Structure 1
């Protein structure tokens, strides 16, 4: 089951998809259903666990589907099928989290993402793309999630392995620059500052500022037009995205990118729709329908959905949907912090680990969903975020039990053995 769970996540990075008249199918859907069937049919999940993280997902997913049906029945059925698959995945994680060895699962994910990254780079170089490795839409996500998984692993490995991982960490920096994946580079910059400053926010701010200064210096010395342009959009994002210029002249303004122009146009239109439908929104997926109906004369690259879940949810699902969505993130932060504080008091982790883990996992994931188009990957990320406190708690409990078996007389907190961290469903 551990391999099914990790393969389900990795399958979202593969360029394997089947377009049907109703939904877009990936291997993820098949693996999620296989996990559900295997867990229920074999009696593996005799005592079902409905954790707080899983239950917090249900109101938002339910409202998302109700909003979809308000647009039209076919749209509602499409979202019902997608939410059912995501729900099945979250349910499987909630059950398996009690036995899942988190570090081994992360190792599998890390190895899989490195293979996907190698394939992506090789494919692009073989097709003549020495920079700008973004033509494979799904595999390029490995650039974003590899630093997150690597940073999480850095917090818990021993000193010898940590040196090796730091070498890998430094080695992926030029790959991120050449890839042109701006969100991946910004996440890498944030994680580097968090790790080096050991999670101290007062020290992270000047470290991030120093990183942007270094990026500015690099942008003036690098001799590649594409990489220089991508870095300039990071350093001065507000100067880009002149969709009015495109509409009037029929071409992009100097220095503009299609991505920035589309984001600027989507932001302007969504702001108008939010003011007209603040409470319930225009309906799930209705934003793209409005563009295709009212702005059909625009170039195809502008006729896309909103790239950013927080903005999309407020536009399509209204204040109600956004409140349910943000509640999941806030609850995950406080529940994870409480779990880590309890583990710290019991000596299972150190103060730096307790301080860093929420920053390393939750902040980059929030940035990802806040800048990426909606879809199965965004909902899977949300599910993992909501269930992260349970996964952390159970992972620490498993570590404690292994410590008990290995060193039964050296445990400093023997009473904890009979009273695991609150919320343990084993």
Structure 2
């Protein structure tokens, strides 16, 4: 079952999809359905569990689906099928959480991501792209999630393995620069500051400031127009593109990028729709329908959905939907803090673990869903975030149980796990 869950996550990075008239199908739905059938028919789950992390997901998923039906029946059925798939994944993960060896799963995920990364780079180089490796939509997301997985392993790695992981971490930097995937670079940048300062916020601020200075120097030193433009856009992350200039002149303003212009247009339209429908929103997926019907003459690169779940949910699901969504994130942070304090009290982890884990997982995931278009990956990320406290506690308990079986006579089994740093 652990392999099915791991492969389900890895399948979200594969460029394998089947577009039907109603829904977009990926291997994720097939693997999740198989895991659900096996669990229900083999008696594996004799006593079903409904942890807090799973229950917190239900109100938002239901509201998201009801909001979709308010647009039209076909849209509602589409979201019903998607919510059924992601809900089944959440249910299977909730039942299996106490049995999962999180370290083994992370190793498999990391190996699968490295293979996907190698395939993505090889494909782009073979097609003549020496930089800007973003033409494969699904595989390119590995640039974003590989740093998170690698940072998680660095956090809990033993001293003997940590050096090799740091070499891999440094080697990842030039690949991210060449990829042009800005959100991946910023996540890597933040995680580097967090790891080097051991999660001490007072030390992270000057580290991040020094990093931006280094980014400025790098942007002026690199002799490549594309990479220089990507780095410059990261130095001014709040800058919005001029979509009015594009609509009036048929070309982008100097220094603008298609993504910045699209975000500017989407933000302006969102503000208008939010002011008109603040409480319940316009309805799930209605934003794209409005663009397709009322802005047909705009360039295709502007007629896209909202890239950012917080903005999309407020626009389409209103204050009610956003409140339910934010509740999941706040509850995950608070509940994870309690789990880590309990683990620290019992000396299962060190103080650095307790400081770093929320920063390594929750902050990058929030940044990802806040800058990426909605879809199955955004919902799976939300599920992993909501169940993170349960996965963390069971993972630490599993590691302790394994240590006791390996060293039954040791009197240090209550100490922090290997690799912990105070």
Q: Which residue of 1 aligns with 2:418?
A: none
Structure 2: distance between partners of 1:222 and 1:89: 44
TM-score (norm 2): 0.97
Structure 1: distance between partners of 2:206 and 2:279: 39
Give SS of 1:232's match: helix
Give SS of 1:237's match: coil
Structure 2: distance between partners of 1:373 and 1:38: 32
Q: Deviations over 1:128-150 (max 9, x none)?
A: 00000000000000000000000
Q: Deviations over 1:307-329 (max 9, x none)?
A: 00000000000000000000000
> What displacement does 1:342 show?
0.2
> What displacement does 1:412 show?
6.3
Structure 1: distance between partners of 2:372 and 2:238: 18
* Alpha-carbon contact 1:309-1:371 (below 8 Å) kept: yes
Give SS of 2:156's match: coil
Q: Deviations over 1:164-217 (max 9, x none)?
A: 000000000000000000000000000000000000011101111111110001
Q: Which residue of 2 aligns with 1:423?
A: none
Q: Which residue of 2 aligns with 1:24?
A: 24
5 Å matches for 1:381-400? 381-400=381-400
> What displacement does 1:223 show?
0.3
**Residue 351, structure 1, aligned to residue 354, structure 2:** no
5 Å matches for 1:26-425? 26-411=26-411
* Alpha-carbon contact 1:346-1:413 (below 8 Å) kept: no
> What displacement does 1:408 show?
3.7
**Gaps (5+ residues) in structure 2?**
415-422
Q: Which residue of 2 aligns with 1:420?
A: none
* Alpha-carbon contact 2:400-2:413 (below 8 Å) kept: no
Number of residue pairs matched?
A: 414
Q: Deviations over 1:1-46 (max 9, x none)?
A: 1111110000000000000000000000000100000111111111
* Alpha-carbon contact 1:86-1:379 (below 8 Å) kept: yes
Judge which range, 182-191 or 40-49, deviates more: 40-49
How large is the RMSD of aligned CA atoms in angstroms?
1.0
